[in-house]
């Protein structure tokens, strides 16, 4: 026996790397795998039971039925043996696709045909209740009370009330006020602390009933009632509006003005509108606003043209420079090749939002490093035209590393035999690049160019973090000089006006999708000719 054999005797055999994965799979295929499966399904079922309880409590019966059927199907699927083995992998992927792709798209389309916005979020019944509560105002001689929530001897929820002027004390219920001796109520720095015969609610018990306590109304005289204002105070209020359930209208008590449903999710009387409204379908109104509302349609075409120019310029410049660098750094025998390649990728190593904020400081007119080092006086971010140049240059700087890597991979995938044959046939470097390298490169890169164009067409971060869409224009209160469609949509629907107009934002998002999809489809159809090169 040789020394080598002797030295290896008694040592465990080395496990080939290729055999590690099968052994891992077999490990989880036995008892350990069964226990793991049971544990995960138990967690899934427990989560489903909790969700089912919530749905049942809110009377969402359709959702409850779907939940029960889905949970049962998953349980059967993962205990179905080898016959359903492919579904064990397809079902999770399908569920994630539905949850994160199909559902958001369907929801966006649904919202685009509604008035879903600030003040129009809840249902009609909720809006009616909120309007009724908002209409409550203190009467001429309304009283203020120190209050404490308590339980009576029967366990019912009551309010212990002490008039802040006269000092008289009462017990308030849904039936009205009942006087009790002032001596039976003790107060401290935090309000009422004790009431004889009643248990004052404190701590977590008090805060758990906050919604119930706020909804408790104690009727007094006429239409007036005492309502809690905080956890320790209450006030006598009376309604200024009366709801007529038969006609579905609100009537103002002081002058009899009638507020009717305008069919757009609000009760209105002339130009007066009661808030809040409710969410309802409005058909194509949001899309009509884009065409007919001057605030929206006025700058739309100009912003669309700039968006197209911005996306096309960034893609063209980034791809051109990225390809040039890839060709230069792909030469064999180049010294410090790895260092140069690493330096090109530096912009990609820094988070994009941080780079944009840094560039915002570098391009500042007064103290920006760019103007100071180059001894320039260019208003990079405060002049409309220069701000557009800044957006293109900064986006170009951030995108070049991507196209450098893409071009590098595509160049290395081109067989050297083709370029050698072209060189033997007498082709020069320019001819070889134009006739051989570039066409073969575009076959692989064209889909990525189209995807990059679509990305930059909706590149909200690069515009909003660098210029905020500005500078502003004198004749456009919302649209700035560098706003692209997506940032203009954000300003129009989210950041300006009286609130968030999610319906309008969804409508514009659908139009942007149609535009990008159309441009991409045309681009793909035009680039199909490149496939014939192979």
DSSP code of residue 1: -
Q: Tens of pLDDT along 64-119?
A: 999 999 888 888 888 776 777 788 788 888 888 998 999 999 999 999 999 999 88
More confident site: 8 or 336:
336
Model confidence at 5, pLDDT cuts 50, 70, 90, reads very low
- DSSP labels, 169-215: EEEEETTEEEEE-GGGEEEETTEEEEETTBEE--HHHHHHTHHHHHH
Is the pLDDT at 318 greater than 90, yes or no?
A: yes
Residue 230 pLDDT greater than 70, yes or no: yes
CA–CA gap between residue 133 and residue 276 (Å, rounded): 11
Alpha-carbon distance 446 to 526, whole Å? Answer: 10
Candidate from 25-34, 154-163, 307-316, 480-489 with smallest mean pLDDT: 25-34
By percentage, how much of the chain surpasses pLDDT 90? 47
Between 525 and 385, residue with greater pLDDT: 385
Query: Per 3-state DSSP, what percentage of the chain is helix, strand, and coil (rounded to 5)?
Result: 55, 15, 30
Query: Residue 475: its pLDDT value, please?
Result: 75
Of 235-244, 420-429, 447-456, 503-512, the range with the lowest mean pLDDT is 420-429
Tokens of 395: 């986006």
Record the tokens describing residue 510, joined without a space: 């659908």
Over the stretch 343-374, which tens digit does the pLDDT of each residue have?
998 888 888 889 999 999 999 988 899 999 98
Pair 520, 454: CB distance under 8 Å: yes
Query: Following DSSP, what letter does each residue of 137-171 receive, concatenated?
Result: E--TT--EEEEEEEE-TTS-EEEEEEETTT--EEE
Each residue's pLDDT tens digit, 241-283: 999 999 999 999 989 999 999 999 999 999 999 999 999 999 9
Q: 292: pLDDT confidence band, cut at 50, 70 and 90?
A: confident
pLDDT at 22: 64
Residue 15 confidence (pLDDT)? 46
pLDDT at 531: 56
Q: Between 500 and 22, where is the model more confident?
A: 500
pLDDT at 316: 95
Task: Identify which of 253-262, 298-307, 513-522, 523-532 has the greatest average pLDDT.
Answer: 253-262
* pLDDT classification of 12: cutoffs 50, 70, 90: very low
- The confidence score (pLDDT) of residue 24 equals 60
> How far apart are the C-alpha atoms of 267 and 258, rounded to whole Å?
9
Of residues 463 and 478, the one with the higher pLDDT is 463
Say if residue 497's pLDDT is above 80: no
pLDDT at 498 over 70: no
pLDDT at 7: 42
pLDDT tens, position by position, 428-455: 888 888 888 888 888 889 889 999 999 9
Residues 330-343 pLDDT 10s = 887 788 888 988 89
The residue among 421 and 498 whose pLDDT is bigger is 421
Top mean pLDDT of 25-29, 413-417, 463-467, 528-532 is at 463-467
Segment holding 27, helix H or strand E? helix 17-27
Exposure letters 370-393 (e unless 16+ CB within 10 A, then b): ebeeeeeebbbbbeeebbbebbbb
Round to whole Å and give the CA distance between 127 and 265. 9
Residue 532 — pLDDT band, cuts 50, 70, 90?
low
């Amino acid at each position: 026996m040789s020394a080598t054999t002797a030295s290896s005797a008694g040592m465990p055999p080395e496990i080939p790397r290729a055999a590690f994965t099968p052994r891992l799979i077999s490990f989880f295929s036995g008892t350990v795998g069964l226990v793991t499966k049971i544990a995960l399904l138990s967690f899934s079922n427990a989560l489903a039971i909790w969700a089912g309880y919530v749905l049942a409590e809110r009377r969402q019966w359709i959702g409850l039925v779907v939940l029960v059927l889905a949970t049962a199907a998953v349980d059967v699927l993962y205990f179905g043996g080898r016959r359903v083995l492919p579904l064990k992998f397809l079902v999770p992927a399908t569920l994630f696709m539905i949850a994160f792709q199909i559902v958001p798209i369907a929801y966006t389309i649904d919202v685009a045909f509604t008035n879903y916005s600030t003040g129009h979020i809840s249902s009609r019944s909720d809006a009616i209740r909120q309007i009724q509560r908002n209409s409550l105002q203190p009467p001429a001689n309304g009283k203020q009370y120190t209050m404490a929530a308590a339980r009576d001897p029967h366990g019912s929820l009551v309010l212990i009330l002490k008039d802040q002027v006269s000092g008289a004390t009462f017990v308030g219920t849904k039936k009205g006020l009942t006087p009790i001796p002032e001596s039976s109520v003790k107060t401290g720095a935090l309000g009422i602390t004790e009431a004889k015969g009643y248990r004052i609610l404190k701590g977590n018990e008090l805060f758990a009933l906050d919604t119930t306590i706020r909804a408790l109304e104690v009727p007094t005289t006429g239409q007036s009632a005492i309502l809690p204002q905080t956890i320790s105070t209450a006030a006598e209020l009376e309604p200024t509006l009366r709801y007529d359930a038969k006609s579905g209208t609100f009537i103002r008590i002081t002058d009899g003005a009638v507020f009717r449903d305008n069919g757009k999710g609000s009760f209105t009387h002339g130009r007066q509108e009661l808030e809040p409204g409710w969410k309802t379908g409005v058909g194509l109104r949001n899309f009509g606003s884009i065409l007919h509302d001057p605030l929206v349609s006025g700058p739309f075409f100009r912003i669309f043209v700039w968006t197209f120019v911005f996306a096309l310029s960034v893609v063209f410049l980034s791809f051109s420079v990225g390809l040039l660098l890839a060709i230069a750094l792909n030469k064999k025998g180049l010294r410090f090749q790895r260092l140069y390649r690493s330096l090109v990728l530096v912009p990609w190593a820094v988070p994009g939002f941080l780079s944009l904020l840094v560039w915002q400081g570098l391009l500042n007119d007064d103290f920006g490093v760019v103007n100071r080092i180059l001894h320039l006086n260019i208003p990079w971010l405060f002049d409309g035209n220069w701000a557009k140049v800044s957006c293109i240059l900064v986006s170009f700087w951030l995108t070049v590393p991507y196209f450098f890597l893409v071009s590098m991979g595509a160049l290395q995938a081109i067989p050297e035999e083709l370029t050698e044959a072209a060189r033997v046939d007498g082709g020069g470097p320019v001819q070889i690049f134009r006739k051989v390298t570039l066409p073969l490169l575009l076959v692989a890169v064209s889909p990525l160019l189209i995807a990059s164009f679509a990305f930059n067409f909706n590149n909200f971060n690069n515009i909003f973090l660098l210029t905020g869409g500005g500078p502003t224009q004198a004749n456009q209160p919302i649209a700035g000089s560098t706003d692209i469609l997506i940032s203009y949509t954000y300003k129009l629907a989210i950041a300006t006006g009286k609130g968030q107009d999610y319906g309008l934002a969804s409508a514009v998002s659908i139009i942007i999708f149609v535009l990008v999809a159309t441009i991409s489809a045309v681009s793909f159809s035009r680039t199909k000719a490149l496939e014939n090169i192979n």
